[in-house]
Chains A and B, each alone.
Chain A
């Protein structure tokens, strides 16, 4: 069985602060994919990143960066210099390789960025 744990439920920061969203996962699969999705107040789900389990390189995209550590089963997401528009619910998710339609989601982290 797969499991994704997002222990933080709500985080509040002031604009321009850096913030890290934690994600810990459990799976018996030897290969798998990890994802982050953003759900802004409007409700749609926005894909942010997919990481393959055999690619442990960290990734940076603008103010976003992701740290994948297979040894600790973690896939953390950092927003640098946060902005009010980053306020949203962020979901970490996991799927078996070759089964992208079978995502297991964490419960989500509500991030509030105050001006």
Chain B
């Protein structure tokens, strides 16, 4: 049982490049989320999903796309990277709406130059 996994751990992009941050969980959790963490800002919700095929926007969705074709995977796509997207990205999952805790992945540190 690997929990929530994220790849890559580190990534450097040039402005304008696109890439996908991968997130997978093997706990059959319904709910998955993406957050970004910036210094002095705490974590902010980017997008979330309440089940396969269902996604919705969080607090800071601009510049990011998500899809949820399977229960296990919830990739985050940066369409055209900008320096403002330099951040640490965390993926999280929870069993369902009544579940006790969210399980966070180890994070991906992204730098956009």
Measuring CB to CB, which residues of chain A are less than 8 angstroms from any residue of chain B? Answer: 4, 6, 9, 35, 43-45, 47, 50, 91, 93, 98-108
Contact = CB atoms under 8 A, between A and B. Distances in A.
Interface residues of B, number: 29
Contact of B48 (A43, A47, A102, A105): A102
Nearest to A98: B97
Q: What are the 6 closest A-B residue pairs judged by CB atoms, nearest first? A: A105-B42, A101-B31, A45-B104, A98-B97, A107-B42, A105-B43
B23 interface: no
B66 interface: no
B100 A50 contact: yes
Interface in B9-46: 31-33, 35, 40-45
A44 B48 contact: no
Contacts of B107: 43-44
A93 B44 CA distance: 11
7 contacts: A6-B42, A43-B106, A45-B90, A93-B43, A99-B97, A103-B35, A105-B35
Contacts, number: 61
Contacts of B2: none
Chain B CB within 10 Å, residue with most, of A9, A43, A100, A105: A100
A47 to B, nearest CB: 4
B45 A103 contact: yes
Contact of B45 (A45, A104, A106, A108): A104
Contacts of A45: 43, 90, 104
Contact of A101 (B32, B59, B90, B100): B32
A4 B49 CA distance: 23
Contact of A47 (B50, B102, B106): B102
A103 B58 CA distance: 9
A50 B101 contact: yes
